[in-house]
Amino acid sequence: DTPGVDGFGVRMLAPTLLQAASEEIKKEFLPPIAAAKVMWCEPWSEPDAGSDLAALTSTAIRKGDEYVINGQKTWTTGAHRADWGFGVFKTDPAARKHHNLSFLLFDMKTSGITVKPIPYMHGGYIYCEVYFDDVHVPARNIVGQENEGWAVVNLLAGFERSGIDQIMRMLQGLE
């Protein structure tokens, strides 16, 4: 049983990993995306950052061989169904904007992650709030370099607009 083609994984994350991730990350995360075995979500937006992603306040502070994430993301599509998430977090609170963010991959079942639906008037939902309370993520799950996540964000944004996931859905349907 496969969940189908995941737009977040296929359209945005996989091409970003191909260009910006370490070989270790590529080997671990690309095969499950290609096999449609994993669903991804993109916890990016924050309640007080609006459309200014660089103004986010959620942190991922490095402690040894892991990052400890704290904060809140909102309007995260499909977080309640996702196996994994990719997000941008402030890793150097003292650094200037755009030079203090890192792009991390994390298992949505990690202790400290809480997903709360944002229901429509009829009770259904697709959007969620995601809370991070001392969430421990291996440091090897970084894409790109620490504090250089803004470059990864811009790379991913280009792929987000590509529509490759729609092409893959059509190919899957034809098969």
Number of residues that make up the chain = 175
Tell me if residue 160 is catalytic: yes
Quote the tokens at residue 82: 């996702």
CB 25 within 8 A of CB 140: yes
Q: CA angle, 74 as apex, 78 and 151 as ends, to 5°?
A: 90
Q: Which of 23, 146, 160, 175 is catalytic?
A: 160
Quote the tokens at residue 78: 């499909």
Q: From 53, 98, 102, 95, select the one nearest 73 (Cα to Cα).
A: 53
- The catalytic residue positions are 160
